[in-house]
Structure 1
Amino acid sequence: MPITNKERFLAFAMPTGDMRPRIKAGEAVIYDTHTEAEPGDDVVIELVDGGCIVRELIARTDDGLRLKSYSPPAVGALPAARVSAIYPIIARGSPAFMKEIEDENAH
């Protein structure tokens, strides 16, 4: 029997290709809002301005987060004042999977 928890597990379509080849643009990114992100995890970062980004978490620092993107390869810092929440990505799915999720939620 499938296990679902719509408050804990959330998904969205990856809007950009900056994590390619790990995560492709359009893929469904599924993340866990009840689990602490650890260095080495691919993460969804909710920003205080309402946006979100996907990166690999390199480290947490006193000032914020050290993050990595893949296309183009880059490591940068994100100040803690810009971060609302950070969650580990637990799975990815095809763009067709994301479409199924959207269609199911529309009903």
Structure 2
Amino acid sequence: MAKKGSKFKKYTDEFKLKVVQEYLTGTISYNRLAKKYNMTSWNIRQWVKKYEASKEDISKAFEDQRKFLSGRPRKNDLSLEDKVKRLEVENEFLKKLLIMRRR
């Protein structure tokens, strides 16, 4: 696991393709490639898997597949109508909570 605050090294798609093609020639192993380029063999294995999975469209082989816009929207991203609805629901909840505590 990486230490807090450490920076991850980013590799260009051209570099990834070069390393993958070098591996696929069959003359060098993951470990030797990792030592040659001063990186982990795990990265190379992942790149090869992605490359082989996207043989139809090589340009998308190394695209980032993560989805960043998941979960509940941030408060700042809400429209005014959504903010009003949210506050009304919150007020109703607090009123019911106050009634329950008084009993």
Q: Which has the larger radius of gyration?
A: 2
TM-score normalised by the chain length of structure 1: 0.22
Work out which structure has the larger RCO, using CA pairs closer than 8 Å and 6 or more positions apart in sequence.
1
Larger relative helix fraction:
2
TM-score normalised by the chain length of structure 2: 0.23
Larger relative strand fraction:
1
